[in-house]
A and B are shown apart, each in its own frame.
Chain A
Amino acid sequence: MTVKLAMPKVWRKETKPHKFCPGCGHGLVLKALGEAIDALEIQNQAIFGCDIGCSLLAWDFFNVDTIQTHHGRTTPVVTGIKRARPDRIVIAYMGDGGGYAIGSQHLVNAAARNEKITVVLVNNCNYAMTGGQMAPTTLPGMKTETSPYGRDAETTGQPMQGPEMVAAIAREGSYVARGTIANSRQLKTYIQRALENQMQGNGFSFVEALSGCPTNWSTNARDTWAFVEQAMPKYFKVGELKAPPRKEE
Chain B
Amino acid sequence: MPEKPITGEKRAFMTGNEVVAWACLAAQADIMYGYPITPQNEIMHYWTRLAPKYEKKFLQTEDEISAGFTTVGGVLAGARAFTGTGGPGNVLMQEAISMAEMMRIPTVMFIQQRGGPSTATVIYSQQEVTLTTYGGNGEGYRIVYSTASHQDLFDYTIKAFNAAWKYRFPTFILGDGYQAKMRESLMLYDPEARGITMVPAEPLVGLPGTPGVDRDPAHLRNTYNTEEELLALIKGYQAEYDRIAPELAEHEAYDCADAEVIILSHGVVSRSARIAGRELREKGMKVGYFRPITLRPFPDAAIRRAVAKAKKLLVVESSEGQFLKLCQQSLCGLPLPIETLLKPGMGITSEEIVAKLSAWRWG
Contact = CB atoms under 8 A, between A and B. Distances in A.
Given A70-B99, A84-B57, A56 B223 contact: yes
A105 B70 CA distance: 14
Nearest to B79: A84
A79 B70 CA distance: 6
A1 B284 CA distance: 99
A226 to B, nearest CB: 33
Contacts of B203: 85
Contacts of A77: 69-70, 72-73, 76
B226 to A, nearest CB: 15
A63 B74 contact: no
Contacts of B212: 10, 12, 43, 63
Contacts of A52: 223
B73 A88 contact: no
A58 B203 CA distance: 21
Interface of B: 30-31, 33, 57, 59, 61-63, 65-66, 68-79, 81, 95-96, 99, 103, 203, 205-207, 209-213, 217-223
Nearest to B210: A44
A109 interface: yes
Contacts of B219: 59-60, 65-66
A69 interface: yes
A76 interface: yes
Given A77-B69, A77-B72, A84 B217 contact: no
A176 to B, nearest CB: 19
B65 A68 contact: no
A47 interface: yes
Contact of B220 (A56, A68, A88): A68
Interface in A38-89: 43-44, 47, 52, 56, 59-60, 62-70, 73, 76-85, 88
B211 A84 contact: no
B54 to A, nearest CB: 16
Nearest to A56: B223
A52 B223 CA distance: 9
Given A44-B210, A77-B70, 20 more contacts: A43-B210, A44-B209, A59-B219, A60-B217, A63-B213, A66-B218, A68-B222, A73-B69, A73-B99, A76-B65, A76-B73, A79-B73, A80-B69, A80-B72, A80-B75, A81-B206, A84-B74, A84-B81, A88-B206, A105-B62
A59 B30 CA distance: 28
A106 interface: yes
Contacts of B69: 69-70, 73, 76-77, 80
Contacts of A108: 62
22 contacts: A12-B217, A43-B212, A44-B210, A44-B211, A59-B219, A59-B223, A64-B211, A65-B206, A65-B219, A66-B218, A66-B219, A66-B220, A67-B220, A70-B99, A79-B59, A79-B66, A79-B73, A80-B81, A81-B206, A83-B31, A88-B206, A105-B63
Label chain A's interface by main secondary structure.
mixed
A60 B68 CA distance: 25
B282 to A, nearest CB: 53
A73 B95 contact: yes
Nearest to A109: B62
Nearest to B105: A67
A50 to B, nearest CB: 10
Contact of A83 (B70, B95, B223): B70
User: Of residues B57, B66, B209, which shows the largest number of chain A Cβ atoms within 10 Å of its Cβ?
Assistant: B66
Contact of B73 (A12, A60, A78): A78
Contacts of B103: 67
Contacts of B96: 70, 73
Contacts of A81: 73-74, 76-77, 205-206
Contacts of A47: 77, 205-206
B273 to A, nearest CB: 39
A106 B77 contact: no
B70 A80 contact: yes
A105 B213 CA distance: 37
Given A56-B223, A70-B69, A80 B99 contact: no
Contacts of B223: 52, 56, 59, 68
Contact of A59 (B59, B76, B78, B221): B221
A39 to B, nearest CB: 16
Contacts of A83: 31, 33, 57, 59, 70, 73-74
Contacts of B33: 80, 83
A65 B73 contact: no
A96 B31 CA distance: 31
A83 B71 CA distance: 10
Contacts of B59: 79-80, 83
A78 B77 CA distance: 9
A-B CB proximity, top 9 nearest: A80-B73, A63-B212, A80-B70, A76-B69, A109-B62, A84-B79, A65-B205, A84-B77, A44-B210
